[in-house]
Amino acid sequence: MKTDLSKSESHKEAALTAHSSRDRILAAALKLFVEQGYFNTNIPDLSRESRCSVGSIYHTFKNKEEVATALYQEGIKAFRTMLYDALKQTTDPIETIRVAVKSFMKFSEVNHQLSKYLWLCRHNEFMTGMIQHPTKVGLDPLGRLLTSNIKRGIKSGALADLKANVIWTVLFGIPAGYVRDWLDGYNTALPSKVSSDLAELCVKSLKK
C-alpha cells in the first residue's frame, strides 16, 4: 500500500498514498491517532476524516483495534521495503552500515507522522499483542541482505566479530534513539542534519 498521508500538512508522507477506501481509512487513522490520540479517536471520526461511511469502515475492518494493527503493519512494511531498496545497491559491509543509518534517518524525517506512529505509539497499551519490532532482523529479504553483508564484513576482518544482538542494537538503536528524541521535541536538529555523523559513529562502533 502506498498512501499520501499528509496533504493538509507542511510535510509530505512518502511511504503511503491514499486511493482505495482501505487506504483512505488508514491515512485518516494515522492522522487522527497521531494528532489526537488513539483513545480519543472513534469510528465516526475516522469516517469524517476518510470520507468513508461508517458501514464501509466496518466492512473493511472489524473494529478500531484492527485499523491500528493494519496501519502498524503497513508502516513496518514501508519502512523495511525502503531499507531493502536502499541497501540492495551495495555489498560492502561498511557502506551497508552507512546506508542503513542514513536511510533510517531519512525515512523518519520524510514520513514524520508515520514515524511517530511506529516509534512512539507502539509503546502504548493499545498496541499490546500486535507489535513486530520495526528493526527486527528476520528472514525476509531485508534480514537476509543485512545478515549476508555483516557476515561478509566479519569474515573479511572489516567488522568486529560481535554477537548479532549487539550489532543490531548499534546499527538501529543509535538512530532510533535520536529519532525518538526528535519526535518528542528533545532533539531540534533534523535527522538529515546528523545522519552522516551518526552513520560514522555506528561504523566506528562496529569496525574491528
pLDDT band at 6 (very low <50, low <70, confident <90, very high): very low
Predicted local distance difference test score (pLDDT) of residue 10: 41
Predicted local distance difference test score (pLDDT) of residue 98: 98
Residue type, 166: V
Kindly report, residue by residue over 149-161, the tens digit of the pLDDT. 999 999 999 999 9
Kindly report, residue by residue over 45-75, the tens digit of the pLDDT. 999 999 999 999 999 999 999 999 899 989 9
Question: Does CATH number 3.30.428.10 belong to domain 73-206?
Answer: no
Q: Enumerate the domain spans of the chain.
A: 73-206
pLDDT band at 207 (very low <50, low <70, confident <90, very high): very high
